[in-house]
Structure 1
Amino acid sequence: MPTLMVSISGIRGIVGDGLTPEVIVKYTSAYADFIKQGKVIVGRDARITGEMVSKIVVGTLLAKGLDVVDIGIVPTPTVQFTVKILEAQGGIAITASHNPNEWNALKLLNATGQFMSPEEHEEMKTFLSTEPFYESWQKIGKYSEHFEAIDNHIEAILKLNLIDAEKIRAKKFKVLLDCVNGAGVYSVPKLLDKLGVEYIKMNCDKSGIFPRLPEPVPENLSETMKSVKENNVDLGIVVDPDVDRLVLITDKGEPFGEENTITQVVKFIVAKTPGKVVVNLSTTRAVEDVAKEFGCKVFRSPVGEANVVKRMKEVDAVIGGEGSGGVIYPSLHYGRDALVGIALTLQHLAEKDITLSDLKKSLPEYFIAKKKIELQNVSPDEIINSLIFKYKNQNINTDDGLRIDFADHWVHLRKSNTEPIIRIIVEAKSKELSESLAEKYLNEIKELV
């Protein structure tokens, strides 16, 4: 895997290898040239390299003449929310999200608090090749701290029309909370306290060291699931290091399913405020099923938060997100936000007066299988174009690789932006069918190679 990855959301790398002080200065300087003037919000997740990276970022921005508002260790959605609330010209969230301890990253935000559009990203990149210009001593930016950012974010969630904190408090929920020692440690307990939720902490110290692989997928959560069952709680709440993904564990200690996070939130929202829904092309078909119950239309975007948000704005969606546990609720802000996802989930359970395992049973059941194939001496585009031609008479979408919808399943074939591989994602009504179909498409690609 490359040790520095560049995408429209920013840069990500292994600290001291791909992500060096020189690289941080170079990209922060180009970002400052893109922003031009005004103030930039800077926040970071809890990993131990965050302080070092933050000081380099802050110093560079100040030297470029931009004002910096430092909001400390916070979720990425709190950085996004604060850019919007303080009417800043941009924001940098210092986090490598679900990557392991040795990684860190700069997530670069525009004046709306969202990830830069492809056009904005291209404009920023033009400044990478110019010699950095720094201001003289009397023109450097001003530094300030704003450590109320998390409290302001939580207060805004509690004021949402669909959140009735009293109703949630009356349920006296008891949960197990796993924050993987990330930024969730500083934010999720505050939200749960406000909602009267009793919680048992797991992986919630402030060491900044992730005790397990931080991606909140079932294979990394065996101890957490066991603990949910042993402690006899109503549900498990798991967030990734920068708190933009929400993963739930049922009262039986079983995975609720990442795809079901967005499915149940969509069901809750459109039942109350019918409207358009946006998810990415790799997200479960269950979203269409629950939206259809309330006469609502689902639109699909290419994978990636920036793409989902762009589509949400185009169609004026009431809710959106991604199947990795990402909930985007525009009534709060346009960004994946586990904090608002937690509040909406607890509200849903309180109003339905059911357990999380019963809520899971009430949702359409699908199974996703994923495979990938590494390509040598052939371009991923060439393979995908061959498959587009082969399936041209089917129900296809080519906005992001190739998605083909059949009556009994769908498949999404997309190339990686960082490696010569094609990812194969298949969803069907049974695990056996999704696995066998994923194998079928893998073999088709092998034949083309």
Structure 2
Amino acid sequence: MSFPAHIFRAYDIRGVYGVDLNPAIAVAIGNALSRLFPGEYCVCSDTRSSSPALKAALSAGLAGSGSNVVDGGTGPIGMAIYATKHLEYHVAYVTASHLPPEWNGIKLFKPRGIPICEEDLKKLGEVAAGNLEWAKPGSEGAYTHRDVLYEYYKFLLKVGKTSSRRTRVVVDCGNGAASLIVPRLLRSLGYDVVGINCDVDPLFSVRGSEPTLESTAYLKDVVLRFRADLGVSFDGDGDRAIFFDEKGNPLAPEQAAVVILKGSQPGDVIANVECSSMVEKYVASRGGRVVRVPVGRIHMIFESMKSSFVLGVESSGHYVPYGGLNLDDGILAVLQFLEAFEKLGGPVSALVEPMPLMRKVKLEVNEEVKFKAVEYLKAYYAGKYDRVDTTDGVRVDLDYGWFLVRASNTEPVIRVTIEASTKEDLDKLEKLVREDIERALSAARSA
């Protein structure tokens, strides 16, 4: 069997089912997991059509090499993270999150929510590609079942606040794993739920598994038709949540984060380098600071484990909810948004802070020079500007806006994010950055 080393990414395992990833490979991964990170494993999955086969194969590999396996069932990723953070299992969660239905993958955690990633994943791939080693007869791991979804549901009922206003919420589960818990949960907490795409469809045939502005455009009409107070849309495994106000207008993740913060105690906030400066502005007004981390949910999770914070937010719609209750949990973020809304009163649109203008540009460049070009810009900007952040790529903050230049880890692309208060300043910054990148690429090619 040819082993696909490329499926072992920086933060998870991911590939096209039947092409890059199949049950035989999942058995090898389980076998290697048990040997590298011995312990008791809770194996869960999302609702994709290929997830049951991969979960069974992964479990066989784990148990066959000596690890006890608990089948935690099927549900959103919050359930899996609950199993590692609160039940202290090693966890393997079969999912491809927001990717199309032909994809699948595995997210891995050590007990207490510690992600298995980067060098650990690389090592796992190397061991899985080698010879399998099985436990001696009588030393195989036990295989049991546990209804982790129900335990997670009870946990959410306990930490969620009962609606005192009978708030009406349009819930779009995207036919994914959130369908198994969110409508029932919110109704149990007293919310008036209008459910859309809340039946599980392993192929995500209605709008796809990713809640983009285009794929969720119909929510505006639904929110208005039902005179809802707000709307929320989930991705395939429920780790991302996109919010909508009472007019059906989508909120940027940073805007949603500020609403949550308005209902919480003041404190520090974790945000990735792509997040809008509006987060800093609001957090500073309450005496807190923003800790910037690289793009990628893993960085936000690790930072949350070592610092005192009230919220973590990613520009893609990931949240680390406040209180240390769970990690990267879109459902818990929704509960905290609803709590803030009921506490503060008024329509959502009145709670939302204005968002500066933001533009994202993707420049296709040669794989050989993209990192060299960004390194050139780091040195160039360090000598030219006062406020330069090299946490992830290079970000420059100016009086009238900021820009970020990053080399993609997965594509021959340089990504540029620009923010300013006016279109004139936005255009000015884009022109400046494009010229600088051309200079950097020229220098990188001749180096």
> Please, what TM-score do these two structures have when normalized by structure 1?
0.91
Unpaired runs of 5+ residues, structure 1, are none
1:47 maps to a residue whose letter is: R
Deviates more, 1:392-401 or 1:114-123: 114-123
- Within a 5 Å distance, the mapping from 1:45-444 to structure 2 comes to 45-88=46-89, 90-147=90-147, 149-160=148-159, 163-165=160-162, 168=163, 170-210=164-204, 211-269=206-264, 272=265, 274-329=266-321, 331-360=323-352, 363-376=353-366, 378-393=368-383, 394=385, 395-430=387-422, 433-434=425-426, 437-438=429-430, 440-444=432-436
d(CA) in 1 for partners of 2:178, 2:202 = 11
CA contact (8 A) 2:45 2:75 kept: yes
Query: Helix, strand or coil for the counterpart of 1:214?
Result: coil
1:27 maps to a residue whose letter is: I
d(CA) in 1 for partners of 2:322, 2:69 = 26
1:81 maps to a residue whose letter is: Y
Residues 154-197 of structure 1 show CA distances to partners (whole Å, capped at 9, x for unaligned) of 3333434xx542xx2x2111121111110010011122022111
d(CA) in 1 for partners of 2:433, 2:174 = 35
Query: Helix, strand or coil for the counterpart of 2:259?
Result: helix
How many residues were matched structurally? 435
CA contact (8 A) 1:3 1:18 kept: no
Deviates more, 1:22-31 or 1:54-63: 22-31
- Once the 2 structures are TM-superposed, how far is the Cα of residue 100 of structure 1 from its aligned partner? 0.8
d(CA) in 1 for partners of 2:97, 2:139 = 34
- Once the 2 structures are TM-superposed, how far is the Cα of residue 129 of structure 1 from its aligned partner? 4.9
- Once the 2 structures are TM-superposed, how far is the Cα of residue 233 of structure 1 from its aligned partner? 1.3
d(CA) in 2 for partners of 1:294, 1:106 = 39
CA contact (8 A) 1:371 1:442 kept: no
d(CA) in 1 for partners of 2:211, 2:440 = 34
Deviates more, 1:179-188 or 1:201-210: 201-210
d(CA) in 2 for partners of 1:371, 1:213 = 24
Change (3 A) 1:443 1:35: same
1:176 maps to a residue whose letter is: V
Change (3 A) 1:70 1:390: same
CA contact (8 A) 1:181 1:204 kept: yes
- Once the 2 structures are TM-superposed, how far is the Cα of residue 438 of structure 1 from its aligned partner? 3.6
Change (3 A) 1:432 1:56: farther
CA contact (8 A) 1:41 1:70 kept: yes
Query: Helix, strand or coil for the counterpart of 1:216?
Result: coil
Residues 85-130 of structure 1 show CA distances to partners (whole Å, capped at 9, x for unaligned) of 2221x11111111101111110111122232254543553452454
2:282 maps to a residue whose letter is: V
d(CA) in 1 for partners of 2:223, 2:423 = 25
Deviates more, 1:345-354 or 1:400-409: 400-409
Deviates more, 1:217-226 or 1:341-350: 217-226
CA contact (8 A) 2:241 2:318 kept: yes
d(CA) in 1 for partners of 2:21, 2:358 = 34
- Once the 2 structures are TM-superposed, how far is the Cα of residue 46 of structure 1 from its aligned partner? 1.0
Deviates more, 1:290-299 or 1:363-372: 363-372
Deviates more, 1:111-120 or 1:299-308: 111-120
2:109 maps to a residue whose letter is: L
Identity in percent:
27
d(CA) in 1 for partners of 2:333, 2:212 = 17
Change (3 A) 1:377 1:193: closer
Query: Helix, strand or coil for the counterpart of 1:262?
Result: helix
Change (3 A) 1:377 1:244: closer
d(CA) in 1 for partners of 2:166, 2:69 = 41
d(CA) in 2 for partners of 1:188, 1:436 = 44
- Once the 2 structures are TM-superposed, how far is the Cα of residue 291 of structure 1 from its aligned partner? 0.9
d(CA) in 2 for partners of 1:171, 1:373 = 48
d(CA) in 2 for partners of 1:205, 1:3 = 35
Change (3 A) 1:102 1:119: closer
- Once the 2 structures are TM-superposed, how far is the Cα of residue 297 of structure 1 from its aligned partner? 1.3
2:170 maps to a residue whose letter is: L
Q: Which residue of 1 aligns with 2:13?
A: 11
Change (3 A) 1:5 1:319: same
Query: Helix, strand or coil for the counterpart of 1:303?
Result: coil
CA contact (8 A) 1:97 1:242 kept: yes
